[in-house]
Amino acid sequence: MESRRMALIAVLGVILYLIYTAWITDYPPPAEAVAAAAPSAIPADPNAVPVPVAPAAVDGAVAAVAGEVTATPAAQSQTIHVKTDLIDAEFATAGAELRRVELSQYALDKKNPDIKLPLLNDRDGVVFMLQSGLAAIEKALPGNGAVYATPQTAYTLPDGVDTLDVPFEYTDAAGYTLKKAFRFKRGSYQIELVQTVVNKTGGVLTVSPYARWLRNPKAAEKSQKFIVTFLGMGVYEQKPNKTDYRFKKIALDDLDDKAYESKQTGGWLTMIQHYFIAAIIPPADEALVMSGKPAGNGNYLGQYLGASKAVADGAEASYTTGLYIGPKIQGKLDDVAKGLALTEDYGILTVIAKPLFVAMSFFHGIVGNWGWSIILLTLLVKALFYPLTAAQYKSMAKMKKFTPRIAELKERFADDREKLSKAMMDLYKKEGFNPLAGCWPILVQMPVFFSLYWVLIESVELRQAPFMLWLQDLSAADPLYIMPVLYGASMWLQQRMSGQLSTMDPMQARIMNIMPIAFTGMFLFFPAGLVVYWFVSNVIGIAQQMIITKRIEAASSAPRDLKKA
């Protein structure tokens, strides 16, 4: 009876965990703004390590970049195409904005492999683009409304060349020139942005660089049913003690209630979208302000504002900002920026999920197929849990042996449940039988279940990964519902083989009979890879149960055979 209750508790735990993860994704803890650093003067030496700018400089620079997207006449703006081995990009000459980035290695969906995923996008109701520029305290420099010139309308990374520079330039009648150069790299999703101001205004300009993501909550990639993933802003911010950093996720709609701001040194800011991120990565030693807020029309800004430099008349100054626009490739992101791997977020079970992914990656390196890697991982997990599994099936065998005596007790104490419970506990104690032993393997494997769930929906390496036959996307639900039905059938068979249903009262038996149907219905919407794991786990469990049960029966019959001889 107690083992049945534990099984029901385990099922309830699965449901509550899924509800909790969906809730925490939609309503994460509110972001805390980091306390501002003590103000100090702008360094006179541009080569000195930047220090936090004076409050007036920060406020003035923020005001200079606080505007929303402004419409630019189509006749004035052109679209500039850029193609590398990994990226197809489009710039608008208005503001030299990066308006669209297609990832050529990732299809938008499995049915249309030739249509590539547009991570940055400015069409079909999606707004997700990069704006950048320079802000001066003494003079309002033009932002995204300025039309930049560039020598070509299309740029392609040539064979045998590792970098591609895309330059933009704007000269103002007031006597200054603004330059932007985007450097793309072969085999990389990193982009280097260098912004330069040439000052010929007749006076000093105190200039800060900025870069910001402008986006709405929509994405080109369709979300899967019943699978909730995070879409919002992520920041790597300094802790209040200013000696360490932490990663924080901020849901976009949280910015409606409270804008985010952090004055710090170093760190980064990113927009997170399921398997992909778009990150702004300033120099690690730069004093800066990171912020997030609504931008009107259902859009939001995630912005970096760098430290100011005083640029004398006749001089020029350059500011470098790193960008990363691409997938969350495991083991690679910390090479881009310290802490960026924290965006590979498996939640509270990261300590288990990471080793699971490492194990699957190892198997994938051998077999070259993520489906077979999951099966090999299942074999490994079952081998590790075999002592508990053996204890479980031994417990089931004893329970089956005591079925007649339990039935007798139920008949004797049919009208007194308290006496029935005491009599059954006395029986368990006398025979050295623990009715909970059969539940521990299920409970112990729950963290593996949840961890593998997050690995499958968060690891870009498994996105649209094929297995065989009809299973051509392990990260999506089984399109024919075959694996969930097979799982339900294997669960039903395990119940019958255990013989435990005969020890239950009618109500418990009816509930347990419903469980295979309930799990089948739940697994209809789970990633196919997860259902493969549990089906194979059940098949292995059935084989183990048959072997262990035969051994127990052989051991129990051996003395009688010996006595007869």
State whether 252 and 323 are in the same domain: yes
Residue 75: strand, helix, or coil: coil
Cβ-proximal residues to 560 (8 Å cutoff; 6+ apart), any chain: none
State whether 320 and 397 are in the same domain: no
Whether residue 409 is contained in a domain is answered as: yes
State whether 426 and 297 are in the same domain: no
State whether 329 and 362 are in the same domain: no
Whether residue 14 is contained in a domain is answered as: no
Stated pTM of the model? 0.78
State whether 109 and 202 are in the same domain: yes
State whether 338 and 407 are in the same domain: no
Whether residue 235 is contained in a domain is answered as: yes
Q: How many domains does the chain have?
A: 2
State whether 330 and 258 are in the same domain: yes
State whether 327 and 367 are in the same domain: no
State whether 390 and 533 are in the same domain: yes
**Whole-number pLDDT of residue 140:** 82
**Whole-number pLDDT of residue 378:** 86
Residue at a domain's end among 317, 343, 369: 343
Whether residue 33 is contained in a domain is answered as: no
Q: What is the pLDDT of residues 28-55, one digit of tens each?
A: 444 333 333 322 222 222 222 233 332 2
Q: Are strands 316-327 and 276-281 parallel, antiparallel or unpaired?
A: antiparallel
Q: What is the pLDDT of residues 339-369, one digit of tens each?
A: 999 998 787 788 888 888 889 899 999 999 9
**Rounded average pLDDT over 236-246:** 85
State whether 290 and 356 are in the same domain: no
Distance CA 369, CA 361 (A): 10
Cβ-proximal residues to 29 (8 Å cutoff; 6+ apart), any chain: none
State whether 282 and 392 are in the same domain: no
Residue 533: strand, helix, or coil: helix
- Domain range holding 421? 352-554
105: part of which helix (H) or strand (E)?
A: strand 97-109
- Asked if residue 19 has pLDDT above 80, the reply is no
Residue at a domain's end among 343, 373, 392: 343
- Asked if residue 157 has pLDDT above 90, the reply is yes
State whether 523 and 406 are in the same domain: yes
Give the strand order in the sheet containing 163-171: 163-171, 176-185, 190-199, 316-327, 276-281, 268-273, 231-238, 245-251
Q: Long-range contacts of range 244-251, CB-CB < 8 Å, 24 or more positions apart?
A: 245/338, 245/339, 247/339, 247/342, 247/343, 248/31, 248/32, 249/28, 249/345, 250/28, 250/31, 250/292, 251/26, 251/27, 251/28
179: part of which helix (H) or strand (E)?
A: strand 176-185
**Whole-number pLDDT of residue 442:** 65
Q: What is the pLDDT of residues 249-280, one digit of tens each?
A: 999 989 999 999 999 999 999 999 988 999 99
Q: What is the pLDDT of residues 136-156, one digit of tens each?
A: 888 888 877 789 999 999 999
Instruction: With CA atoms as reference, report the closest residue to 451 among 361, 354, 529, 386.
Output: 354
Residue 556: strand, helix, or coil: helix
What is the DSSP code string of 386-437? HHHHHHHHHHHHHHHHTHHHHHHHHHHTTT-HHHHHHHHHHHHHHHT--TTT
Residue at a domain's end among 343, 363, 384: 343
C-alpha distances in Å from residue 289, one per residue of 65, 103, 208, 263, 522: 12, 30, 11, 4, 45
